[in-house]
Amino acid sequence: MTGISRRAWLAAVLLLAACTRKQRAQAQLVPDGATVLALGDSITYGTGAPPKASYPNVLARLTGWNVVNAGVPGDTSAQALARLPALLDEHKPALVLVGIGGNDFLRRLSEADTRANVQRAAQLARDAGAQVLLIAVPRPTLAAHFTGSLDDHKLYGEIAEALKLPLQRGGWAEVLGDEQLRADQIHANAAGYQTFAERLLATARAVGLYAR
């Protein structure tokens, strides 16, 4: 490793550590038995696998949290946002996992509207007294169609930065980009949902939402 590349690598490591510390300082531990709301669409619901294999169910088993699966197949970000106030009122979650927008991208809906809906959902959850963990969703591209390689849509990182939210990066991109972890092009299989839940838990640990 050259001196320049080593300095660049060290700078990147220090930047990541600083970001993690900043997110950790903002987060509060979510205790065992706390209610966690998973807001989303079909990949939250668990389409492509048995119900017990959905990522909210796996996450509940891994953490001891009471994870409410609020995934509705086919929902756009606007539809998920419309459901959110009643869900917050009913469940009063300590943490909301916001993972919406995939159907907007597939239907080529307005990116500005999607951004506004995702950001509004996060803000509503915080206003209700919940912490928020934002989940990035991959962007469909021509390259992804041919290569299977997926990347997070940039709007999630931008929203996370604007609202100072912890962000689950690359979880769905990794799972849906691996044919062994998916049931079809847009849904995971049981192994994929397990993998995603484990990646999400690692992020929760890194930002201070989970300690074990």
**Tokens of residue 31, six digits:** 């205790």
**Consecutive H or E run containing 38:** strand 35-40
- Please pick, among 41, 75, 153, 187, the residue that the annotation labels catalytic: 187
- Residues 193 and 62 sit within 8 Å (Cβ to Cβ): no
Which DSSP string do the residues of 147-189 spell out, in sequence order? Answer: H---EE-HHHHHHHHHHT--EE-SHHHHHHT-GGGBSSSS-B-
- Please pick, among 5, 41, 42, 145, the residue that the annotation labels catalytic: 42
- Please pick, among 32, 113, 127, 184, the residue that the annotation labels catalytic: 184
How do residues 7-52 score in pLDDT, each as one tens digit?
544 444 444 444 444 444 468 999 999 999 999 999 999 999 999 9
Phi, psi of 173 (to 5 degrees): -60, -40
Q: Which of 102, 70, 81 is nearest to 172 (CA)?
A: 102
Q: Domain 3-207: give its CATH code.
A: 3.40.50.1110
How do residues 99-132 score in pLDDT, each as one tens digit?
999 999 999 999 999 999 999 999 999 999 999 9
Q: Is 42 annotated in the active site?
A: yes
Domain boundaries, the chain: 3-207
Q: What percent of the chain clears pLDDT 70, i.e. is strictly above it?
A: 83
Q: What is the pTM of this model?
A: 0.86
β pairing state of 151-152 and 95-99: unpaired
